[in-house]
Amino acid sequence: MKAWKWSGVAGVLLLLVGCGGSEDADSASDDTQRLGGVAQPQPQPTAPPAPEVAPFDEAVAIDISARLRSDRRLLVEGTTNLPDTTRLQVLVEREVSGVRWQERTEVEGGRFAAGPFGPGSGLPDGGYRITVNMPAVSVQVPEVRARLGEQGEYLSGPLVQESRHGLGRVISASERFLVGSQPRRTTDQVEVQSLE
């Protein structure tokens, strides 16, 4: 009987030792370390700080030019002092009918380009309004947001205005472009006389 009791006690001890070892291994997670029997959190790696970027501290300038291709479609090009990778939207609208064409582009090396604009048959003669908009800073890439401010607070100049949707400051520049010849119109009272 003694032999049975002794082997039963030895089995229970082995069982407890086996459980204790695996419990310690399981309870220590990947981000803790045991010191003196007490779990200590491991220091978490921190993200490197974002590089300091100088805020945009000059008045926004956008110069728009356009040229008519041989197929009578319009190419819009321009220069700006906005940071590279700034997203822009170029809109061309026919003044008489209000028909619009638009395209997204971005600044590269202080320049931007978009187009060609117009139907495959070419643009009819008449006046066209070319508008270059910079959408809200919230849709810009992080590098541009850092330069312009999260709400565009570093933007200044006559082209800068508050967004209609409360998304901070936006930019809009506009130019008129004439395709073909358009007769001058006058609203003055004119008397026509015949020569004899």
DSSP 157: S
Q: What's the chain's average pLDDT?
A: 79
Burial tier of 117 (Cβ tally within 10 Å: 0-12, 13-18, 19+): buried
Residue 7 has pLDDT above 70, yes or no: no
Residue 25 has pLDDT above 60, yes or no: no
The pTM assigned to this predicted structure is 0.64
Instruction: Say which CATH topology domain 62-179 has.
Output: Immunoglobulin-like (2.60.40)
pLDDT of residue 46: 67
Instruction: pLDDT band for 186, please (50, 70, 90 cuts).
Output: very low
